[in-house]
Amino acid sequence: EKVDAPSLKQAGVGFLYNNKEITRLDLPELEKTEKNFLYNNKKINELNLPNLKQVGDNFLCKNQKLTSIKAPMLKNVGSNFLSNNEIIDEIELPKLEDIKNYFLYSNQNLTKLELQNAKRIEDYFLYNNQKINEVNLPKVEKIQNYFLNDNKELTKLKLPSLEQIENRFLYENIKLKEAELPNLKIVQNEFLKSNKELQKLELLSIENVGDSFLYSNEKLKEFNAPNLEQVGWSFLYENKELTQLDLPKLKEVGMAFLSKNQQLTKLKVPNLKKAGIGFLEDNIKLIELYAPMDEEIREKFSERIAWNKKMLKLKNISKLDKKSELTTTEINSAKKIIEEDILQNDKENNVEKSE
């Protein structure tokens, strides 16, 4: 069944709500819809909306046959835009600027999304989309909570204009390998937490981050943030491949800073002024630490780390000169101490298990 309404410019609440027969809809003059437009339509598979500019909440939610949508004039959408559409795989929204909550939530067939003019994104954007592997958002400046969480196939992301994000950005994306965020300055909690494939990340503009930043990224080897000044709890907690880190402007860190990094050997934090408990706890291979060893920082070490055995030298950055870096001989000596210590710990653990 086909519906034509060539002169309709505005659709009210619940327009064609829960319709089980319509397959095609032609609305060439429609400019605005209220909430629940075409909600839960079982058969619709063809739409013509060339002049649509604004839609309310629940636009085209739960449509089981729709495979594509083109809305070349659309600028503003409400919450739950195209949520729970099982087979949609093509979307063209070239003028869209403002995106509300649950945009394209739980769409299982979408593989690519490009929104050239989107600037602001609210909560749950593209949450739980199992096949999407490419997202292009060149003008987005601010993102709220749960952006692209739990996406199983995403490998690459570019957000060149992004400056600020809130909680759970890219949480548990198991295949993500590249993320370009050159202008990002402020992030809140659980940024890129539990990503299994990410190996390198540069955040050249970042200044402040919240809790659980880059928590448990198993393959992260390189991280560069030259302007980072303040971090929350569990910063880079439990990263298994990171070996060196230089944070020249870092001043304040929360609890469990860089705890349980199994391969970290060298850390430079020359301007560090405040640290929480658990500072560098369980970093069994750390040899070189370049930090201002004032009373407070020393206290954090004495509380949590047997640093006199695990590290050969602690440098006071205020007295550093060109000869202050450790020599190869000193580093090798420290590595030997660490290896012997690990071997001894393993022996003690084996004895305990056998008893």
**pLDDT for residue 54:** 96
- DSSP label at residue 230: B
Do 95 and 73 form a contact (C-beta atoms < 8 A)?
Answer: yes
Picking from 195, 191, 200, 206, the residue whose alpha carbon sits closest to that of residue 220 is 200
Q: Give me 329's structure tokens.
A: 């001989």
Cα 245 from chain centroid (whole Å): 20
Question: What is the distance between the alpha carbons of residues 130 and 255, in angstroms, rounded to a whole number?
Answer: 34
Half-sphere exposure of residue 168, counting CA atoms within 13 Å on the CB side?
Answer: 15
In Å, the largest CA–CA distance within the chain is 85
Q: What is the pTM of this model?
A: 0.79
The SS3 of residue 59 is: coil
- Dump strand ranges (E) for 181-256: 186-187, 200-202, 222-224, 244-246
- Compute mean pLDDT per 10 residues along the chain, 355 residues long, and list them: 85 90 91 94 88 95 87 95 87 93 88 91 89 89 90 87 92 85 94 88 94 90 95 91 93 89 85 82 76 59 40 38 52 64 69 68
Question: What is the distance between the alpha carbons of residues 83 and 99, in angstroms, rounded to a whole number?
Answer: 13
**pLDDT for residue 154:** 87
Provide DSSP, 241-257: S--EEE-TT--B--TTT
H or E element that contains 291: strand 288-291
Picking from 115, 114, 112, 117, the residue whose alpha carbon sits closest to that of residue 134 is 112
Picking from 221, 219, 220, 227, the residue whose alpha carbon sits closest to that of residue 203 is 227
**pLDDT for residue 125:** 92
Length of the chain, in residues: 355
Do 309 and 337 form a contact (C-beta atoms < 8 A)?
Answer: yes
Other Cβ atoms closer than 10 A to 276: 17
